[in-house]
């Protein structure tokens, strides 16, 4: 079956430091990977969408300088939160998609910033 793994599942970093999270698609080819963030008491916001053979598209309020993303092949993507501060805490979700309607979400990486 199709699965999406994310790691770490939970991490703590000091304010001002950076944290890298990874997303692995198993059992299918992730032609696009979307990264979302759920901040405390909020719903999921799309950070950026990475599609094979296309440039990574960042949503308003999110930048490559802050959230650089790598999508080197059809099964793996990573995103780094650079210079993390309190407002960056939350659950980061990776959604890997193949085809028209098949999107699989990972369990998320929960980031705590001290």
> Where do we find the tokens 């999406």?
4
- State the Cα–Cα distance between residues 3 and 5, nearest whole angstrom: 7
| Nearest residue to 93 (alpha-carbon basis) of 75, 68, 111, 74 | 111
User: Which one of 19, 25, 49, 56 is in contact with other proteins (CB under 8 A)?
Assistant: 49
CB of 27 to other proteins, least distance (A): 16
Alpha helices in the chain (DSSP H): none
Is 103 an interacting residue with respect to other proteins (CB under 8 A)?
yes
Among the listed residues 25, 108, 111, 113, the single contact to other proteins using CB under 8 A: 108
Residues 13-32 that bind other proteins (CB under 8 A): 32
Exactly one of 14, 43, 53, 86 binds other proteins (CB under 8 A); that residue is 43
Contact (Cβ atoms closer than 8 angstroms) between residue 90 and residue 40: yes
Nearer to other proteins, 14 or 100 (CB): 100
Contact call for residue 90 and other proteins (CB under 8 A): no
Q: Which two tokens stand for residue 71?
A: 């999508």
């Amino acid at each position: 079956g199709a699965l999406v793994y994310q790691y770490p599942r939970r991490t703590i970093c000091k304010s001002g430091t950076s944290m890298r999270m990874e997303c692995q698609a198993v059992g299918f080819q992730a032609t696009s990977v979307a990264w979302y963030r759920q901040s405390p008491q909020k719903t999921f916001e799309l950070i950026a969408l990475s599609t094979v053979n296309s440039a990574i598209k960042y949503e308003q309020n999110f930048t490559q300088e802050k959230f650089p993303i790598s999508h080197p092949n059809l099964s793996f993507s990573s995103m780094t939160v650079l210079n993390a501060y309190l407002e960056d805490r939350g659950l980061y979700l990776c959604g890997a998609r193949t085809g028209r309607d098949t999107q699989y979400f990972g369990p998320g990486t929960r980031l705590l910033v001290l």
